[in-house]
Amino acid sequence: MNLSSLNFFRTLRADNKQFAVIGLGRFGKAVCSTLHGLGYEVLGIDTDEKKVTQALNDRIAAHVLQLDSTEPSALAEAGIFEFETVIVAIGNYLGESITTTLNLKEGGVAHVIAKASSETHLKLLKKVGADHVVFPEREMGCSLARLLTKPSILERFDLDPAHSIVELLVPEKFDGKTISELELRRRYGLNLLAVGRGDKFEINPQPSERLRKGEVMVVIGSNKDINRLPI
Is residue 8 pLDDT above 60, yes or no?
no
One-letter amino acid of 124: L
Average pLDDT of the residues in 206-228 = 93
First to last CA, the chain: 23
Average pLDDT over residues 123-130: 96
Architecture of domain 3-138: 3-Layer(aba) Sandwich (3.40)
pLDDT, tens digit (0-9, with 9 covering 90-100), for 72-114: 999 999 999 999 999 999 978 899 999 999 999 999 999 999 9
Contact partners, residue 201, CB within 8 Å, separation at least 6: 194, 195, 216, 218
Q: What is the reported pLDDT for 221?
A: 94
All structural domains of the chain with their residue ranges = 3-138, 150-226
| CATH architecture for segment(s) 150-226 | 2-Layer Sandwich (3.30)
Q: Are 133 and 122 in contact (CB under 8 A)?
A: yes
What is the rounded average pLDDT of the residues 197-204? 88
Please determine whether the domains at 3-138 and 150-226 fall in the same fold group of CATH: no
Strand, helix or coil for residue 39 = coil
Q: How confident is the model at residue 123 (pLDDT cuts 50, 70, 90)?
A: very high
* Confidence label for 160 from pLDDT (cuts 50, 70 and 90): confident
Q: What does the H/E/C string look like for 105-159? A: HHCCCCEEEEECCCHHHHHHHHHCCCCEEECHHHHHHHHHHHHHHCCCEEEEEEE
Range with lowest mean pLDDT among 58-62, 159-163, 179-183, 207-211: 159-163
pLDDT of 187 strictly over 70: yes
Element (H, E) at 74: helix 72-77
Which residues have CB under 8 Å from 196's CB, separation 6+?
167, 202, 215, 216, 217, 218
Of the candidates 220, 154, 149, the one whose C-alpha atom is nearest the C-alpha of residue 184 is 220
216: confidence class by pLDDT, cuts 50, 70, 90: very high
Per-residue pLDDT averaged across 170-196, rounded? Answer: 95
CA distances from 183 to 88, 169, 189, 227 (A): 47, 17, 9, 16
Q: Look at residue 1 and tell me whether its pLDDT is greater than 60.
A: no
CA distance 163 to 154: 16
Q: How many residues does the chain have?
A: 231
- pLDDT tens figures, 40-51: 999 999 999 999
The CA distance from 125 to 88, in Å, is 10
pLDDT band at 151 (very low <50, low <70, confident <90, very high): confident
Give 202-227 as a DSSP string. EES--TTPBP-TT-EEEEEEEHHHHT
Please give the pLDDT value at position 92: 81
Range scoring the smallest mean pLDDT among 121-130, 151-160, 184-193, 216-225 = 151-160
